[in-house]
Amino acid sequence: MEGVNLIESFSEFKDIKNIDRATLMSIIEDVFRSMLIKKYGSDKNFDIIVNPDKGDVEIYKNRKIVDDEFAEDSFDYDENKHISFSDAQKIEPDFEIGEDVSEKVKLEDFGRRAVLSVRQNLVQKILELEKSEIYNKYKEKVGDVITAEVYQVWKKEIMLMDDEGNELLLPKTEQIPSDFFKKGDTVKAVVSKVDLKNGTPSIIVSRTSPVFLERLFETEVPEIFDGLITIKKIVREPGERAKVAVESYDDRIDPVGACVGMKGSRIHGIVRELKNENIDVINFTNNSTLLIQRSLSPAKITTIKIDEETKRAEVFLKPDQISLAIGKGGFNIKLAGKLTGYEIDVFRDTDIDVETEDVDLEEFSDEIEADIIEQLKSIGCDTAKSVLELSDDELIRRTGISVETIQSVRDVLSAEFED
């Protein structure tokens, strides 16, 4: 009965997909040889035959036939290597001295404890190897896009299952804010991190990583996959906006046009996968001024002043272009800064004629403190509308004025135009 249990334990693992047959057979043989050494002191005269198709194991003990006198009196006699002539004839009457005898060893002969120990070792070693194989497999897949099915949804993460039943984790922090998945849904993500925790592989996938967007472009744009177009840099605010700088080494290829496709055919699929994330594709250039200008698209810039030492850029725009440069939630200017490597400050171009209905900040000196007006003018906001065009967050960041004061200033300025 114990022998049957042991064979069944082998059968449980003979169809494991993550371990090749040769490796599996080697593990099984090693486990049985350890059992032989423990019982007989050596495994040199034993043959172990693993049958992966049937899921069973056969053990044969090989001994040389010696005469009975040698078996009884010689100190060199070893029952693991030798068998007496009389005992050999009990197995087969035609045997002669000097021949080799192969005798099948029954698992029951090892005893219940030995069989249980082998079973436990077999299960443990195969599970450890399978985990190691999964770890190595996904370690090589870091940066690759995989498709998996949602198995379990929790508050802070989602468990996915790949085609082979391996568990993957998609943390909330790696999900696009508008992502919503339920059990059974198919999810596409990039493998971002693989670790071993207590011997168990931990596979983290991401949908917010810039690498995910890069791989989607490689899938949709053959020129990128073939190396004709290079993605120089990607910055993202997942679910909101992304900027992709591309470059072509072939003058005949328009990198932006190739990425967008005819009537947006190529980029539409990427946008849908990213939950309608706005994607700006721009031509990369080593000219910092031109790169900043392109990165602030769709805003049209009047003048740019760059300080290479501090890596700051002062950008001057027409009043109606300031909100475009900053973008919804400030994402456009934030991503432009990340893409170019410059701290970008937006100013209203004071050389442009002010619309007659705009009011100079000095006109509000009786309601707004002089030092507040000076702070606003220091960032290029010298009229009421130039202040109102900037968000609270942008004004606070650039002037250091408190949120309460900014709100008070905004109320005063807004009231002027309401009147």
Distances (CA, A) of 215 to 80, 118, 255, 260: 62, 46, 16, 15
Query: What values do phi and psi take at 197, rounded to 5?
Result: -115, 110
143-187: per-residue pLDDT in tens? 999 999 999 999 999 999 999 889 999 999 999 999 999 999 999
Q: What are the residue ranges of CATH 3.30.1480.10 in the chain?
A: 2-130
Please list the residue range(s) of the chain that carry CATH number 3.30.300.20.
Answer: 227-284, 285-352
CB atoms within 10 A of CB 288: 16
CATH number at 2-130:
3.30.1480.10
The answer to whether residues 380 and 405 touch, using CB atoms and an 8 Å cutoff, is no
Q: State the pLDDT at residue 42.
A: 80
Residue 199's nearest CA partner among 113, 134, 252 is 134
Segments of the chain scoring below 70 in pLDDT: 1-20, 52-55, 71, 73, 75, 350-357, 419
- CATH fold of 227-284: GMP Synthetase; Chain A, domain 3 (3.30.300)
Q: Does domain 361-418 correspond to CATH entry 1.10.8?
A: no
CB atoms within 10 A of CB 353: 6
Residue 339's pLDDT is what? 95
Q: Which uninterrupted H or E stretch holds 341?
A: none
In the sheet that holds 343-348, the strands lie side by side as 301-307, 312-317, 343-348
Give residue 92's pLDDT. Answer: 78
Q: CB count, 10 Å around CB of 173?
A: 11
Give the per-residue pLDDT at 55. 60
pLDDT at 13: 57
pTM reported for the whole predicted model: 0.65
- CATH class held by domain 141-208: mainly beta
- According to CATH, the topology of domain 285-352 is GMP Synthetase; Chain A, domain 3 (3.30.300)
* Domain span(s) for CATH 2.40.50.140 in the chain: 141-208
What's residue 4's pLDDT? Answer: 46
Which residue ranges does the chain devote to CATH 1.10.150? 361-418
